[in-house]
Amino acid sequence: TMRLQNKVSIITGAAQGIGLATALKFAREGAIVVIVDMKPEAVEAAVAQCLALGAQAVGHAVNVTDRAAVDALVASVRERFGRIDVLVNNAGITRDARLQKMTLEQFDAVIDVNLRAVFHCSQAVADAMVEQGSGVILLASSVVGIYGNYGQTNYAASKFGVIGYAKTWSRELGPKGIRVNAVAPGFIETPILATIPDKLIAQMREEVPLRRLGQPEEIANVYAFLASDEASYINGAVIEVAGGLTV
Ligand code: NAD
């Protein structure tokens, strides 16, 4: 059965990696998928993949750090589909350096996308969800946001920060029928790992009790569950999906 039938779902960073896998999973579950990413051609390609699955899908080439563009995107979705059921705040970046080497540009870039833009998108959809009396906001944290990581001052702070959003928004919006939850993936095989040396990847694999990296679909499955009515009593939670990495 289709768990997300006709649920209007905005997914940011949906052109590749976990976001694309999530868009395709939502499409298979019957959702009306709104693909948001910075890269116009990749957005079109992702939309085409969703359409090929028989889903309704539209694309928006938007940089989520641009508040005016985010507001316009949300207005356009509301106008076209009349509602917004799900927001998956998936877009995220890394700019790694240890504390003493990190530039302000690196620091600001990560905070801007991973923390500030998540505020933009979530604030932009909140009115629609409150008016409907229903909605789901999902946040992309990381095991790094719970345990920290060498060389990731900015990223760890941003991923810890979205857990703060989950806790706060679940309190504010829960009474209005909106659920807010975070997912904390471990090491997932996506293009974001491209800058990490092979030796380090092999080491990461050995640290995981399941002895492998996760696949984007294994995160997408959890987003789909959390977006569905099956998760109707899950609110303010942080779900680790990390193959046992942190046990
Ligand atoms: P990815 O780099 O493969 O994909 C991220 C997508 O977000 C890209 O398509 C990119 O164009 C888009 N994006 C980046 N900045 C944007 C912006 N300003 N506006 C619009 N789109 C933007 O990354 P991924 O590995 O699929 O990760 C997705 C999310 O999951 C991120 O938030 C990441 O921090 C988180 N995460 C990933 C892992 C992992 O191991 N891959 C682990 C934990 C958390």
* 156-191 tens-digit pLDDT: 999 999 999 999 999 999 999 999 999 999 999 999
The pLDDT value given to residue 196: 87
The pLDDT value given to residue 56: 98
Instruction: Tell me if 54 is assigned to some domain.
Output: yes
Q: Which run of H or E residues covers position 80? A: helix 67-81
CA distance 154 to 93: 10
Instruction: Tell me if 221 is assigned to some domain.
Output: yes
pLDDT above 90 coverage of the chain, percent? 98
Average pLDDT over residues 106-126: 98
Q: Which residue has a Cα nearest atom 41 of ligand 1?
A: 188
46 lines ligand 1 (CB under 6 A): no
Instruction: Tell me if 46 is assigned to some domain.
Output: yes
Instruction: Tell me if 241 is assigned to some domain.
Output: no
**Ligand 1 mutation pick, 12, 16, 18, max ligand atoms within 8 A of CB:** 18
Which pTM was predicted?
A: 0.98
Instruction: Tell me if 128 is assigned to some domain.
Output: yes
Query: Which position among 155, 165, 223, 233 bears the catalytic label?
Result: 155
Instruction: Tell me if 246 is assigned to some domain.
Output: no
* Closest C-alpha to 139, from 217, 237, 221: 237
Q: Is this complex's ipTM strictly greater than 0.85? A: yes
Q: Which residue has a Cα nearest atom 31 of ligand 1?
A: 92
Q: How far is the CA of 114 from the CAs of 25, 65, 141, 144, 162, in angstroms? A: 23, 9, 9, 13, 8
Q: What is the CATH number of the domain that holds 134?
A: 3.40.50.720
Using one digit for the tens of pLDDT, what is the confidence trace for 54-73? 999 999 999 999 999 999 99
**Is 150 in the active site?**
no
Domain that residue 85 falls in: 8-236
Q: Indicate whether 195 pLDDT > 90.
A: no
Compute, in angstroms, the gap from residue 70 CA to the centroid of ligand 1: 17
Q: Indicate whether 192 pLDDT > 90.
A: no
**Number of domains the chain is built from:** 1
93 lines ligand 1 (CB under 6 A): yes
152 lines ligand 1 (CB under 6 A): no
* Closest C-alpha to 46, from 64, 30, 22: 22
The pLDDT value given to residue 241: 98
Instruction: Tell me if 45 is assigned to some domain.
Output: yes
192 lines ligand 1 (CB under 6 A): yes
Instruction: Tell me if 115 is assigned to some domain.
Output: yes
222 lines ligand 1 (CB under 6 A): no
17 lines ligand 1 (CB under 6 A): yes
**For the CA of 63, the nearest atom of ligand 1:** 19
Tokens of 46: 């992702």
Using one digit for the tens of pLDDT, what is the confidence trace for 120-141? 999 999 999 999 999 999 999 9
pLDDT above 70 coverage of the chain, percent? 100
**For the CA of 189, the nearest atom of ligand 1:** 41
Using one digit for the tens of pLDDT, what is the confidence trace for 214-241? 999 999 999 999 999 999 999 999 999 9
**For the CA of 14, the nearest atom of ligand 1:** 9
